[in-house]
Amino acid sequence: MEILYHGNAARGLAWQEAVTRALPEVRFTCWPDAANPAEIRHIVAWTLPDEVLAALPNLEILFSVGAGIDQLDTARLPAHLRIVRMIEPGIIGTMADYVAMGALALHRDLPFHVAEQRAGRSSWRDVAPAQQCRVGVMGLGELGRASLAKLAPLGFRLSGWSRSQYAIEGVDCFAGETGLAPFLAGCDILVCLLPLTAETRHILNRDTFAMLPRGARLVNAARGGHLVQDDLLAALDSGQLTSAMLDVTDPEPLPAGHPFYSHPAILMTPHVAGITRTDSAVVSLIDNLGRLLRGEPLIGEVDRSRGY
């Protein structure tokens, strides 16, 4: 079996060595070095540029190097192409760390204190215990569940919302359209970890913010397309939201002069919440390639009708 890699050259060489060592029956090549592109049926990539897709007429499986697939224009991909997203400890662990950091930072009013520091002031605000703060996570897949597990020892009261019903110890779980309003009403800090689909695009909007308690806070570590930017600014300026921490924007990066850069109630990071680690991600890839060789189900295979 041959698999082609398209992407960061250093990562490709590292993965080539690891895959070859673990699975000598797999020929791992890096774009554009495939001897016969027409025979390539499996590819590892972040995106598939037109010239790559055109050169590989017999592709059967795309292994994404990311946890999501919204970077792919699935409408232009062959209908038969199977897509497998990356599920690996590096992404999951770093995302859970980021969510815990975001929840603590907003709970302890870090945006306010940073803004005061930059203004040359030293101002005091009261501090409430974590047990009085309710943190709700939208999206209860691997990332959401790991983030809730990371938050649990910190003392926050936890809830979660997703398309399908879950049962998680110590977490009040809500599901579906009917569960959204009661979920939001109990969130002092709202964390978005949803996949980006047609149904979830712009879900962080004025209607959603209006259902949160006044003065709530927002962490968006999912995708920039979830957020209506003008609605966030209006909610912050009206006091409906107190602050926000954003790891993702649309576009990335934002253009110079965008109001998010200077807004005193917004903290931003440059899409670093969940990181695909070269060393741990290749272990997950090797596991899936082994499953493919043995004819077993693949971990992370996407239901293209649902978008995740």
Active site residues: 223, 271
- Cα–Cα distance, 68 to 87 (Å, whole number): 9
Helix axes 89-107, 278-294, angle to 10 degrees: 140
- The token pair at 305 is 């009708």
Cβ-proximal residues to 66 (8 Å cutoff; 6+ apart), any chain: 46, 85, 86, 91, 276
Distances (CA, A) of 97 to 101, 151, 187, 235: 6, 9, 20, 27
Distance from C-alpha of 23 to C-alpha of 28, rounded to nearest angstrom = 10
Residues 6+ apart with CB under 8 A from 78: 59
Conformation bin of residue 93: beta by default, left when phi > 0, alpha when psi is -120 to 50: alpha
- The residue count of the chain comes to 308
State the burial class of residue 275 (Cβ atoms within 10 Å of its Cβ: 0-12, 13-18, 19+): middle
Number of other CB atoms surrounding residue 10 within 10 Å: 9
> Which residues pair with residue 64 across a beta bridge?
45
Q: What is d(CA 87, CA 61) in angstroms, rounded to the nearest whole number?
A: 16
H helices present in 23-171, as ranges: 50-55, 89-107, 110-118, 142-151
Do 202 and 227 form a contact (C-beta atoms < 8 A)?
yes
Residue with tokens 């959204």: 180
Both tokens of residue 227? Answer: 């957020």
